[in-house]
Amino acid sequence: MFGKILLTIAVIAFIWFGFKYLSRLAELRRRDEAEKAPPPHSPPKDAAGEAETMVECRVCGTWQPGRSARSCGRSDCPY
Provide the binding-site residues for Zn ion, judged by CB under 5 A: 57, 59-60, 72, 77
Q: How far is the CB of 49 from Zn ion (least distance, A)?
A: 23
Q: How far is the CB of 57 from Zn ion (least distance, A)?
A: 3
Strand partners, 56: 63
What are the DSSP calls for 10-75, one per residue?
HHHHHHHHHHHHHHHHHHHHHHHHHHHSPPTTSPPHHHHHHHHTEEE-TTT--EEEGGG----S-T
> Which lies closer to Zn ion via its Cβ, residue 24 or residue 74?
74
> Which lies closer to Zn ion via its Cβ, residue 8 or residue 71?
71
Q: How far is the CB of 67 from Zn ion (least distance, A)?
A: 16
> Which lies closer to Zn ion via its Cβ, residue 55 or residue 60?
60
Separation CA 28–CA 44 (nearest Å): 28
